[in-house]
Amino acid sequence: MEVGSKEASQSNSPRSSSDRWAFHVFLSFRGEDTRKTFTDHLYVALQQKGIQTFRDDEEIAKGEVISFQLPKAIEESLSYVVILSPNYASSTWCLNELQKILEFRKSWVEKFFQSSMVWIRHMLDTKKGVLRML
């Protein structure tokens, strides 16, 4: 699957490390503060560079439940840009997005660390075996 493909964005299954992401970037922002200014400019610039970017007003189809789509988009994004503004922290939606981003990234880092430790143990065992043969 390629980033931004229809297959990638419709998958409900967890992604393995070998899968591609549906979005390169997820934008988290307070709409009333930055939607028509900074966020729009950033979104356009990213899109022009070929960076598949999730922005709630563009990517959620009419009639879809936003409370379901936002967490899914967070999980399907490779990176996140949190645009802090004067009213960002006063928005329950923004704080929920930020919490989901932090939880998902923590989970991802823990899985990466665990798999790295398995690889390191394997390499150490292999090295010990080679040294025994010498």
Q: Which residues are catalytic?
A: 97
Sign, CA torsion 70/49/32/83: positive
The residues, ordered by sequence, that sit 6+ positions from 49 with a Cβ below 8 Å of its Cβ are none
Long-range contacts of 123-126 (CB under 8 A, 24+ apart): none
What is the distance between the alpha carbons of residues 66 and 13, in angstroms, rounded to a whole number?
19
What is the distance between the alpha carbons of residues 52 and 75, in angstroms, rounded to a whole number?
14
